[in-house]
Structure 1
Amino acid sequence: MRQKKHFIAERALLIRRSKIRELFERASKIEGVISLGIGEPDFDTPRNIKEAAKRALDEGWTHYTPNAGIQELREAIVEYYSNFYNVDIEVDNVIITAGAYEGTYLAFETLLERGDEVIIPDPAFVSYAEDAKLAEANIVRLPLREENEFMPDPDEIVELITKRTRMIVINYPNNPTGAVLEKDVAKAIADIAKDYNIYILSDEPYEHFLYDDAKHYPMIKFAPENTILANSFSKTFAMTGWRLGFVVAPSEIIKAMIKLHAYVIGNVASFVQVAGVEALRSQESWKAVENMRKEYNERRKIVVKRLQKMPGISVREPKGAFYVFPNIKEIGMSSERFSEWLLENARVVVIPGTAFGERGEGYVRISYATSKEKLVEAMDRIEEALNKL
């Protein structure tokens, strides 16, 4: 039978498939592979959160909810920012979303017109550039440099701003570099946004995974009227499959987001939202978060210590998230070729830095969100392969 040629809308054709997913699927077909690729907690969701979802189902939470989310969860998020950061927000500043993914998508679609400019770091998480394409916005890349601890330079931001600049994307603790944003830099970016009347999309899902003396400063603390803060339960509470997140923004922006959200998904699953209330308000949940943070810290030390001794690799110690971003330039391969070479010769998956932007060339991303035993084995394999070069 002759296959029909189907018409596909240009906006769908513009989207580039994630290199992370491509490598993951390729590796799944090779026996004995250790994946240090996808950034997903290997921990199970804390029991009390799962039990809350089960109770919610038994209690009849199987129906539609308000588009913006249930009142109790929105109130719990208000309480959370007050308790953790001494930041006052209102319920009208919150919308419940299907993860931070939907939150960032809503921000791009709500705030950007065709031809507007959005400043996106390079390297940066893969979805931002694709969201910008869908919004028909022009992408302006802001270099993140290793010698600057992968933090943005406020002076460079100012140089990139034009009369078409509408938004800048910030993501700290950072994916893929593991960097954290120092307070003075965060305040400087906030001041720039206020001075030039642009928005900050601040994507903050790794805020609780900090190490050594690192601290997190939510951008709404410094520029509440200019910030769209996207956050997620996925990483904090090991709830990736639940698809639960939220956005905090000025109420006028939230109202616009609610209208779009209503036509995209309607509402996040009702019983999942009830579980989110339990996650935020229960001490049991937060004890689990701290246990995860301690375990990630131990894994981080194992990976960094091993990488620092390997030929051709240099690495800065990350202070946040659960990623290491080693420099592989001395090895003499491109990031993509090195990732393929490791898969072929060590059966270990790492992500080429170029998956996150052109300035990711010369680096790879390693996720340590997997067991110590697998990390040690992966480091052994990488070292053995490198020693044969």
Structure 2
Amino acid sequence: MPHIAPHARLVPPSGIRRVFEAALGVDGVVNLAVGEPHLPVSPHVVEAARDAWAAGLVDYGPNGGIAPLRAAVASKLARENGMAVDPAQVWVTVGATQALHQALGMVLDAGDEVLVPDPGYTVFTMAPRTLGAVPVPYPLRPEDGFRPDPDALRRLVTPRTRAIVVNSPSNPLGVVLPEADLRAVLEVAREADLWVLSDEVYEHFADEPHTSLGALDTDGRVLSIFSLSKSYAMTGARVGYLVAPPAFADVLPHLQEATISCVAMPDQHAALAALTGPQDAVVHAARTYRAHRELAGRTLDEAGVRYHRARGAFYLWVDVAHASGGDVEAWCLDLLRTERVAVAPGSAFGRSGEGWVRVNLAVEPEDLVRGLKVLPAPA
């Protein structure tokens, strides 16, 4: 009998999905586990997708995306992110997940190492394993405000290290890294001659100025990953984009062809409408999630529950170590059974997440408050 490739078995399961799937079909569950915006997609975005289907725009498109969409992304990057890029550097992807995988696939060989944040988004650890590469966690500690320590990064670099993943605003922590921190990470990358992968999916949801790593890049080592999923409440449309330095121009067409060929045409037209049409919904979403962060903070403060005060994204990182008994995933499943509230176990985001839970704030306020009120305060 043929055998499954050993590296495939090293891809860890998602602890978020385990709780989410356990909640499916359970009546009356307040689901704060999955990062899904509760706000509706803008009508003009829906209309653009509908029109594309009606017009029969369902043929293959260019590997990198339709020209108007790549141009719109380049204009947005110049306007909002301080990044001057040629549209040819923009690659439309199946969400940020494929953008991340594509970037990792271009910089990692089997056995290579990539430094990933801990706690950090689950796919940062899962995706390298699909390539036979090794994710090496770098610690983000509460006492440091969950910001990366450049010296700790330097100590983790080995001859096999090829890249560093940076995520700001952060999932699951809601941390927004200041420019000085980003420059410090870039300096570590320059010293060790590493690539930097910058995940900026939550760029529009920051309470303070968001700095793009690509805007600070002076030697073409940053690959930037963006998505329309969260900003425009179109997670299921699966449209993101990868911004790659010119060095990748010769390889990206072949890799994109080998993985997805191209993103679905109606989805690309929806994305084009999202980027070039009214931005009221994005502004409204940012204000809504900021208000939810403040509401959550007041609710937990009144209850005496410890948490990290987020400055971006739409998550809250809550300390339940006093109650979870060293197995926060089991504790989350028990909370679901007893209280009908689903939260994501912090251990899904790395070893440092044990004893914490991630709460999705992108829900109706009454559901948010109800869910938060079952979280235990220290005795």
- Taking structure 1 as the reference length, what is the TM-score of the superposition? 0.92
Contact 2:227 2:241 in 1 (8 A): yes
| 1:305-347 deviation per Cα after TM superposition (whole angstroms, max 9, x unaligned) | 1122335x31121000000001122335232233123212211
- Alignment of 1:48 onto 2:44: yes
Tell me the equivalent position of 1:354. 347
Contact 2:82 2:212 in 1 (8 A): no
Contact 1:178 1:320 in 2 (8 A): yes
Tell me the equivalent position of 1:280. 275
Equivalent residue in structure 1 for 2:57, among 56, 61, 74: 61
Equivalent residue in structure 2 for 1:232, among 227, 243, 252: 227
- Alignment of 1:328 onto 2:324: no
Tell me the equivalent position of 1:82. 78
Contact 1:95 1:258 in 2 (8 A): no
Q: Offset at 1:226?
A: 0.7
Q: C-alpha separation between the residues in 2 aligned to 1:388 and 1:337? A: 19
Alignment of 1:286-365 (within 5 A): 286-311=279-304, 313-331=305-323, 333-334=325-326, 335-365=328-358
Which blocks of at least 5 consecutive residues in structure 1 are unaligned?
none
Equivalent residue in structure 1 for 2:67, among 67, 71, 80: 71
Tell me the equivalent position of 1:270. 265
- SS for the counterpart of 2:183 is helix
- Alignment of 1:222 onto 2:216: yes
| 1:238-273 deviation per Cα after TM superposition (whole angstroms, max 9, x unaligned) | 010001011001123244233122121110011211
Alignment of 1:93-112 (within 5 A): 93-112=89-108
Contact 2:319 2:355 in 1 (8 A): yes
| 1:166-216 deviation per Cα after TM superposition (whole angstroms, max 9, x unaligned) | 0001111001111110110011112222232110111111000012xx111
Kindly tell me: are residues 350 and 7 of structure 1, through their superposed partners in 2, closer, same or farther at Cα, counting changes over 3 Å?
A: same
**Percent identity between the two aligned chains:** 34
CA RMSD of aligned residues (A): 1.8
Kindly tell me: are residues 88 and 276 of structure 1, through their superposed partners in 2, closer, same or farther at Cα, counting changes over 3 Å?
A: same
Count of aligned pairs: 377
Equivalent residue in structure 1 for 2:366, among 358, 363, 373: 373
Which blocks of at least 5 consecutive residues in structure 2 are unaligned?
none
| 1:11-33 deviation per Cα after TM superposition (whole angstroms, max 9, x unaligned) | 43222221111111111132211
- Alignment of 1:141 onto 2:137: yes
Amino acid at match of 1:366: V
Q: C-alpha separation between the residues in 2 aligned to 1:139 and 1:257? A: 23
- SS for the counterpart of 1:16 is coil
Amino acid at match of 1:365: R
Q: C-alpha separation between the residues in 2 aligned to 1:114 and 1:9? A: 12
Alignment of 1:21-32 (within 5 A): 21-32=17-28
Tell me the equivalent position of 2:182. 186
| 1:7-59 deviation per Cα after TM superposition (whole angstroms, max 9, x unaligned) | 54434322222111111111113221111000010112111111111222233
- Taking structure 2 as the reference length, what is the TM-score of the superposition? 0.95
Q: C-alpha separation between the residues in 1 aligned to 2:370 and 2:137? A: 37
Equivalent residue in structure 1 for 2:202, among 206, 215, 220: 206
- SS for the counterpart of 2:303 is coil
Q: C-alpha separation between the residues in 2 aligned to 1:55 and 1:208? A: 27
Q: C-alpha separation between the residues in 2 aligned to 1:153 and 1:254? A: 33
Q: C-alpha separation between the residues in 1 aligned to 2:267 and 2:222? A: 26
Contact 1:116 1:138 in 2 (8 A): yes
